[in-house]
């Protein structure tokens, strides 16, 4: 992976920040794309100090807005080179097929890999955020469909998906509790406290690395505390 270029969406903090650091450790160049400008710039600056200014970039954008994401992608490639790896979500996956495509005479990219972070909420019943579960199920479905050999033959791009259980040490769940849930649901969630052992961020980063190393197109890797990460859902026929 050395000298390859990765764009990590949501890389300003939490899991994305830790994944960005792991990729830098592995020799890649990394652009963080995040909506939080101050936090993102600070994270990128810290990483640039550690790994070298020429290996780190930051682009402020809302990755759910295609034009913003596409412009950030262009600026990232101007700074670091053609993208090989994307931590992507829905808009990103579709954009990757357009921008990373290495098949065909007019191919604009060098092929590569997209890793989408969904959640165990897409695999197991989690009642607290039904819309969240629905969107994460969408991410799994999209990743599996785009991860079919048909699409790889047309694009040279692989799509993989990571489904972590609850992670401690990121502000995510607290933010969801404060901003997204009704008081009754937040109370039920707290009452269930302690029943689920949370993962640590480094454990999820390890699972991310496993997914990237094994690189089985269309695969969905689940990671829960106290278990080895495991592939879920049936194999895609080749």
Ligand X SMILES: NC(=O)C1=CN([C@@H]2O[C@H](COP(=O)(O)OP(=O)(O)OC[C@H]3O[C@@H](n4cnc5c(N)ncnc54)[C@H](O)[C@@H]3O)[C@@H](O)[C@H]2O)C=CC1
Residues that bind ligand X (CB under 6 A): 9-10, 12-16, 34-36, 62-64, 117, 119, 164, 166-167, 170-173
CB of 89 to ligand L6LC73OR, least distance (A): 13
Nearer to ligand X, 64 or 74 (CB): 64
DSSP string, the chain: -TT-EEEEETTTSHHHHHHHHHHHHTT-EEEEEES-HHHHHHHHHHHHHHH-GGGEEEEE--TTSHHHHHHHHHHHHHHH-S--EEE-HHHHHHHHHHHS--SSTT--S--EEEEEE--GGGTS---S-HHHHHHHHHHHHHHHHHTSHHHHHHHSEEEEEEEE--BSSSSHHHHHHHHTS-HHHHHHHHHTTTSSPPBPHHHHHHHHHHHHHH--TT-EEEE-TTS--EE-SPPPP-
74 binds ligand L6LC73OR (CB under 6 A): no
Among 113, 116, 119, 217, the residue binding ligand L6LC73OR under the rule CB under 6 A is 119
Q: How many chain residues are in contact with ligand L6LC73OR, going by CB under 6 A?
A: 18
Among 126, 160, 199, 220, the residue binding ligand L6LC73OR under the rule CB under 6 A is 126
Residues between 186 and 205 with contacts to ligand L6LC73OR, criterion CB under 6 A: 189, 192-194, 196, 198
Nearer to ligand X, 16 or 109 (CB): 16
Distance from C-alpha of 201 to C-alpha of 18, rounded to nearest angstrom: 7
173 binds ligand L6LC73OR (CB under 6 A): yes
Q: How many CA atoms lie within 13 A of 187 on its CB side?
A: 3
CB of 116 to ligand X, least distance (A): 9
Q: Binding partner of residue 176 among ligand L6LC73OR, ligand X, none, CB under 5 to 8 Å per kind? A: ligand L6LC73OR
Distance from C-alpha of 95 to C-alpha of 101, rounded to nearest angstrom: 10
135 binds ligand L6LC73OR (CB under 6 A): no
Among 6, 121, 140, 199, the residue binding ligand L6LC73OR under the rule CB under 6 A is 121
Sites of contact with ligand L6LC73OR (CB under 6 A):
119-121, 126, 128-129, 132, 165-166, 168, 173, 176, 189, 192-194, 196, 198
């Amino acid at each position: 992976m050395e000298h390859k270029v990765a764009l990590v969406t949501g890389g300003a903090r939490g899991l994305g920040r830790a994944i960005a650091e792991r990729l830098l450790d592995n020799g890649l160049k990394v652009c963080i794309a995040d909506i939080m400008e101050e936090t993102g710039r600070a994270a990128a600056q810290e990483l640039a100090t550690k790994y070298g200014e020429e290996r780190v970039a930051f682009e402020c954008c809302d990755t759910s807005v295609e034009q913003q994401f596409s412009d950030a992608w262009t600026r990232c490639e101007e700074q670091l080179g053609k993208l090989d790896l994307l931590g992507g979500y829905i808009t990103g996956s579709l954009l990757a097929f357009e921008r990373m495509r290495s098949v065909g005479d007019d191919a604009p990219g060098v092929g590569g890999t997209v890793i989408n972070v969904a959640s165990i909420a897409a695999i197991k019943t989690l009642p607290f955020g039904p819309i969240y579960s629905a969107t994460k199920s969408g991410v799994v479905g999209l990743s599996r469909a785009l991860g079919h050999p048909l699409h790889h033959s047309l694009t040279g791009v692989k799509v993989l998906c990571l489904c972590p259980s609850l992670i401690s040490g990121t502000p995510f769940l607290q933010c969801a509790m404060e901003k997204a849930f009704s008081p009754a649901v937040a109370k039920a969630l707290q009452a269930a406290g302690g029943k689920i052992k949370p993962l640590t961020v480094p454990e999820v980063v390890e699972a991310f690395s496993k997914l990237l190393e094994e690189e089985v197109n269309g695969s969905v890797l689940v990671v829960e505390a106290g278990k080895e990460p495991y592939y879920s859902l049936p194999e895609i026929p080749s």
